Amino acid sequence: MAENKQEPDAVFTLERIYLKDVSYEAPGAPLAFAQNEAPQLDVQLRLEHAALNAQDGYHEVVLTVAAHANRADKTVFLAEVQQAGAFRITGIAGEALARTLEIGCAYILLPFAREVINDLVTKGGFPQLLINPINFEALYEQKQAAIKQPVAGQA
């Protein structure tokens, strides 16, 4: 009699969304409000994930968004948010798990981080800051390609 090996069903649940850390500074205020020149804006993203309880499939994913506005080498404002989520993911392993954590979870967290950054900046007295859509799949592919690239000078 042939045994039926059944693959476990994949489970992906969002257990909790939460702010892990938030920071806002406006060292140029109130003088920054009197200047008409738009500041230069730099937005950086970082994504980290870790297993909280690997046996039960619990993972934490943290999306850090940092927005730094400066004018003539002086900081106008700096806002940084660590938006986190606790996810339960079972029945997915290896690269599929990495893709789920770095793409699927990131897409879930981005709107929350986007809202917090915008709130911080507007409550700080500056115009609305809308973060453009992010292609996390392309970022993941770039990261994987960089990992597979041999380091210069090594064979």
Contact 23, 80 (CB under 8 A): yes
* pLDDT at residue 124, rounded to an integer: 95
Residues 4-15 pLDDT 10s? 555 568 999 999
Is the pLDDT assigned to residue 1 strictly greater than 70?
Answer: no
CA–CA distance, 121 with 123 (Å, rounded to integer)? 6
> So what's the pLDDT on residue 7?
57
Tell me the C-alpha distance between 134 and 154, whole Å: 33
Q: What DSSP state is assigned to residue 140?
A: H
**pLDDT grade for 149, boundaries at 50, 70 and 90:** confident
Of 78, 84, 85, nearest to 43 by C-alpha is 78
**Any idea what DSSP says for residue 114?**
H
Kindly give, in sequence order, each residue whose CB lies less than 8 Å from that of residue 3, ignoring residues fewer than 6 positions away: none
Q: What angle do CA 19, 113, 44 make, to 5 degrees?
A: 115
Cα dist. 153→19, 104, 147 in Å? 42, 36, 15
Taking residues 77-106, report their average pLDDT. Answer: 96
Phi, psi (deg, nearest 5) at residue 64: -105, 125
Domains of the chain: 11-141 (3.10.420.10)
Model pLDDT for residues 108-134, shown as the tens digit of each residue: 999 999 999 999 999 999 999 999 999
| Per-residue pLDDT tens digits for 25-70 | 999 889 888 888 889 999 999 999 999 998 899 999 999 999 999 9
CA atoms within a 13 Å half-sphere pointing along the CA-CB vector of 113: 32
